[in-house]
A and B are shown apart, each in its own frame.
Chain A
Amino acid sequence: MTGPTVTLMAAVAVLFATGFHLMLQRSLVRIVVGFMLLGHGANLALLLAGGPSGAPPLLGGKDDREMADPLPQAMALTAIVITFGVTAFLLALAYRSRLLTGEDEVQDDVEDRRICAEERADPDTWTGDPVEGNQEPSRRDEPGGGESGGSEPGERPPGERPPGGGG
Chain B
Amino acid sequence: MNVLVPLPFALPLLGAAFALIVRRRDTLLRIVAPLVVTGVVAAAGALVAAVARDGVIAVQLGGWAAPLGITLVADRLSTLLVTVSAVVLLAIMVHGVGEGVGGLGEHEPGVFYPAYLTLTAGVCLLFLAGDLFNLFVAFEVMLASSYVLLTLSPSRERVQAGMTYTAVSLTSSILFLTAIGLTYAATGTVNLADLSTRTAELPAGTRTALAMLFLVVFGIKSAIVPMHLWLPDSYPAALTQITAVFAALLTKAAVYSLIRVETLLFPRDALSWPMLGLAALTLLVGTLGALTHDDVHRVLSFTLVGHIGYMLFGLSLFTVAGLTGAILYLVHHIIVQATLFLVSDLMQGLTGEISLTRLRGLAAVSPFVSVLFFIPALSVSGVPPTSGFIAKLALFQAGVGSGSVAAYAVTGVAVLASLLTLMAMSRVWALAFWRTPAELPERPHDAAAQGGIRVMRTVTAAMVCVGLLIPAFAGPLTDWSHRAATELLNPAPYVQAVLGER
Chain A positions near chain B (C-beta within 8 angstroms): 19, 23, 28, 31, 35, 38-39, 41-43, 45-46, 48-51, 71-72, 75, 78-79, 82, 85-86, 89-90, 93-94, 96-97, 100-101, 106-107, 109-112, 114-115, 143, 146, 150, 163-164
Contact = CB atoms under 8 A, between A and B. Distances in A.
Chain B interface bracket (under 10, 10 to 19, 20 to 34, 35 or more): 35 or more
Given A82-B140, A111-B298, A94 B163 contact: yes
A106 B157 CA distance: 11
A110 B185 contact: no
Given A42-B177, A79-B177, A96 B154 contact: yes
B181 A115 contact: no
A147 B298 CA distance: 24
21 contacts: A31-B163, A38-B171, A41-B174, A46-B177, A46-B184, A48-B181, A50-B184, A75-B133, A75-B180, A78-B137, A82-B144, A85-B144, A93-B163, A96-B151, A97-B160, A97-B163, A100-B159, A106-B163, A110-B157, A112-B233, A150-B156
Given A45-B178, A46-B177, A49-B185, A97 B159 contact: yes
Contact of B181 (A28, A42, A89, A111): A42
A89 B293 CA distance: 32
A101 B161 CA distance: 13
Contacts of A45: 177-178, 181-182
B458 interface: no
Most chain A beta-carbon contacts within 10 A, residue among B68, B181, B293, B294 = B181
A65 B67 CA distance: 24
- Name the 4 nearest CB pairs between A and B, nearest first: A49-B185, A42-B177, A46-B181, A49-B181
Interface of A is mostly: helix
Contact of B182 (A49, A79, A90): A49
Contact of A93 (B151, B153, B174, B182): B151
A141 to B, nearest CB: 14
A51 B156 CA distance: 47
Interface in B126-169: 133, 136-137, 140, 144, 147-148, 151, 153-157, 159-160, 162-164, 166-167
Contacts of A46: 177, 180-181, 184
B293 A111 contact: yes
Nearest to A19: B174
A35 B172 CA distance: 11
Contact of B233 (A31, A49, A96, A109): A109
Contacts of A146: 156
B292 interface: yes
Given A45-B181, A96-B159, A115 B292 contact: yes
Nearest to B154: A96
A42 B68 contact: no
Contacts of B293: 111
B129 to A, nearest CB: 14
Given A38-B171, A89-B147, A106 B133 contact: no
Contacts of A75: 133, 180, 184, 190
